[in-house]
Amino acid sequence: MRHDPHPGGMMRAAEVWGERWSACESSLSRRYMETVVAKQSLVILAADRYTMAGLSELLEEVSDHVVALKTHVDLVEDWSASAWSEFVDRAAAADMLIFEDRKHGDIGKIARDQMGGAYDSRNWADLMTAHLISGPSVLDGMAEAWKSVGREGGVLLLAQMSSAGNLLEIPGYSAAVVAVGQQHPACFGFIGNGSRPDELAQLRQLVGEGRMIWTPGVNIAVVDGELGQRYGCPRQAVISGSDGIIVGSGIHRAESPSDAAKAYAEMSWQALLERGA
């Protein structure tokens, strides 16, 4: 059952989001912003568990505090179309967007056909990531894939990354990605670097109010992670312009994922209110 975005006494999405609400006119953006207000959370869970049972258990534990699930469908060792369809339906019933972190990077035709391949992501992913290295046709192809099955979807373009030494830090790259994304209706928003608040604030200046920015690289325990991952403070990421914090191990490796998700939700929500409309 979808959360009521306007229960008695709760602030309305337009009041919380201000100019972002006015400028982001896509139905997916509005749905996301309403869910944030309903759940009082900006938490996107990186659901990095490798079995359907593990994913289902995690969903049950955190659904009250999570607004979207970031998946890697090809990591699931016992994946089947029927089990995945059931999982997606349960996530939708809990009012969570499905965000497949596919990072498409090929030309538009290939990206379109990949979305209709073995995993048929066009039929269940609400949002997907993409690199712009091959040019704007990747956005066209992904939009065509969703349109072919009568669905609306959105692309998050990688404008920044949180891993050490990534090549998106090359001068001018982020600005070029933003310039393309701002002009394309399939672009839901951008991936920013949650571990570096100054860089994130600069990205927000480039993006303006018309697109979302979601950020990995955040953890309440601000430390460096495995294999070059860097972490920053979730609160500071939101203050600096993030509209959604992508959290993985800080939740799914916690002793109580439910309690951890609640803590991230409370921190991110208070930061959004502090940031102000």
Q: Which two tokens stand for residue 147?
A: 């349109």
pLDDT at 204: 98
CATH class of 42-264: alpha beta
Band of residue 24 on the pLDDT scale cut at 50, 70, 90: very high
Do residues 250 and 220 make contact, with C-beta atoms less than 8 angstroms apart?
A: yes
Token pair recorded at residue 181: 């994304």
Read off the pTM.
Answer: 0.93
pLDDT (tens digit per residue) in 186-202? 999 999 999 899 999 99
Selected catalytic residue, list 103, 109, 147, 262:
103
Average pLDDT along the chain: 93
Considering the chain, what percentage of its residues have pLDDT values greater than 90? 86
Asked whether residue 80 carries a pLDDT value surpassing 80, the answer given is yes
pLDDT band at 34 (very low <50, low <70, confident <90, very high): very high
CA distance 170 to 176: 11
Q: What is the pLDDT of residues 120-133, one digit of tens each?
A: 999 999 999 999 99
Q: Are strands 68-71 and 212-215 parallel, antiparallel or unpaired?
A: unpaired
Gap between the Cα atoms of 65 and 40, Å rounded? 8
pLDDT value of position 120: 98
pLDDT of 203 = 98
Cα separation, 180 vs 261, whole angstroms: 34
The token pair at 197 is 């608040």
For the residues 106-119, what does the mean pLDDT come to?
98
Phi, psi of 187 (to 5 degrees): -80, 105
In 3D space, the residue among 69, 97, 42, 45 whose CA is nearest the CA of residue 238 turns out to be 42
Annotate 52-111 with DSSP letters as a single string.
Answer: HHHHHHHHHHHGGG-SEEEE-GGG-TT--HHHHHHHHHHHHHTT-EEEEEEEE-S-HHHH
Confidence of residue 9 (pLDDT cuts 50, 70, 90): very low
Residues 233-258 have pLDDT tens digits of 999 999 999 999 999 999 999 999 99
103 is catalytic: yes
Residue 6 has pLDDT above 80, yes or no: no
Exposed e or buried b for every residue in 129-147, given b needs 16+ CB within 10 A? bbbbebebbbbbbbbbbbe
